[in-house]
Amino acid sequence: MTTQPTPKGSTGTPKGAWQITFLLFLFMVVNFADKIVVGLAGVPIKKDLGLTPEQFGTLGSSFFYLFSISAIVIGFVANRASTRWILLILALIWAVTQFPMVGTVDFTTLVICRIILGAGEGPAAAVAIHAIYKWFPDEKRTLPTAILSQGSAFGVILTMPALGWVINAYSWHLAFGVLGVVSLLWAVAWFALGKEGPLASTSAVVADEQRIPYWRLLTSRTFIGCVAATFGAYWALSLGLTWFTSFIIEGLGYTQKQANFISILPWVFGAVVVILSGWISQLMLARGFTTRGARGVLGSVPLIVGGCILATLPYVPTGWLMPLLVIGSGLCGAIYVVCPAMLGEFTPVSQRGAMIAIYGALYTLSGILAPQVMGNVIQHATTPMAGYMSGFTINAAIMVGSGVLGLLLLWPNTERARLAGTSQPAGAIKGAMSPT
């Protein structure tokens, strides 16, 4: 067995890279705490405002109305502007949009604030990834990307008990205010400690900075595969953010206090999946596997397996629902680790911020659809439980389909050659699943 050579342009990890990684991890913790609060407070919000399942689905979807547009616009800005200042401005927007909910609000005000918050959070993950890639060379990016992705899981794991206590002891209004204060605290820390990475002009696979037309990048099969695969994963995540706590209370009969802790389980399992995926991917690369196997296959197969598990939910005893739902939805996490790294393999650095942002903008469109579809299905079902089961079955089909598309389309190790119009490296396809 021979190993892949160290990519041209590779360099060591600059001093301070892990400090920035930790700060951006906290950034994503706050990001997902903001996302989860509506789902966590779903039952009291529905009661206080008299919302139907369809209206609550609309509320969940509203967060994503400007999410994608904002992600694309700011992604292009990130190609030229300092990510340090972009991230600071985003955090301030998060804070400002939380505080109106501390007082008495109606459904319209709540929706408007969530739309503005979504516009501020749409670019967050892409800009954070673009920022962290300025601190790590290509062959060392998978693990920090996995850590950054864990901000989503820990944003739920750490804040659910805390916000749940605030909701139970005080009100759901105050929970939003707490998140506003936390966003301000992160902004202060980032202003004091945040820096721009020194590897802004370094790319592991692009020896020069020759630009590639965006239409070619956006129609490349690996880009399409990343969007398709992550679309299915984000469908499951969006349901978890909006409907999971309500399902535990309304479908399984638990109290709000019990649901606050049970809701953590999928995120704990998902955190383990993401960290393992990042570690396994990096280990496979070190042992000479191509990125087709170490990233493309590794990210796609768990989606298919997870979807198959979710498809069994309507047919198993009630006692099996929670563990199967936790495992099936948690397996989605692997794709978030590998897709940004795959896009970074063939995208010139000067275009990477926009490409990762467009990728995020497209796959998060499922965030608009998933909560609304679940709300409509529940409202028109014979019982809430039947509606939830139908919604999870739709989720299963989408996950399997997206995983299959990812498995067919994700070939990052040969994408650069295709985009450059040159022939594929000899043995690229043959060696995709085994060390080369």
Tell me the Ramachandran region of residue 47: left when phi exceeds 0, alpha when psi lies from -120 to 50, beta otherwise: alpha
Length of the chain, please?
436
Domains of the chain: 17-420 (1.20.1250.20)
Q: What is the pLDDT, as a whole number, of residue 425?
A: 41
Please classify residue 2 by burial: count the beta carbons closer than 10 Å to its beta carbon, then call 0-12 exposed, 13-18 middle and 19+ buried.
Answer: exposed
Q: Which residues of the chain carry a pLDDT beneath 50?
A: 1-10, 201-207, 422-436
For 386, the enclosing helix (H) or strand (E) is helix 384-409
Q: What is the pLDDT, as a whole number, of residue 204?
A: 42
Q: What is the pLDDT, as a whole number, of residue 342?
A: 93
Q: What is the pLDDT, as a whole number, of residue 298?
A: 95
Q: What is the pLDDT, as a whole number, of residue 6?
A: 38
pLDDT digits (tens, 9 = 90+) for 20-76: 889 999 999 898 888 888 888 888 899 889 899 889 999 988 988 998 889 888 888
Q: What is the pLDDT, as a whole number, of residue 86?
A: 93
Separation CA 241–CA 223 (nearest Å): 26
String of DSSP letters for 15-39: TTHHHHHHHHHHHHHHHHHHHHHHH
pLDDT digits (tens, 9 = 90+) for 221-263: 999 999 999 999 999 988 988 888 889 888 888 887 788 788 8
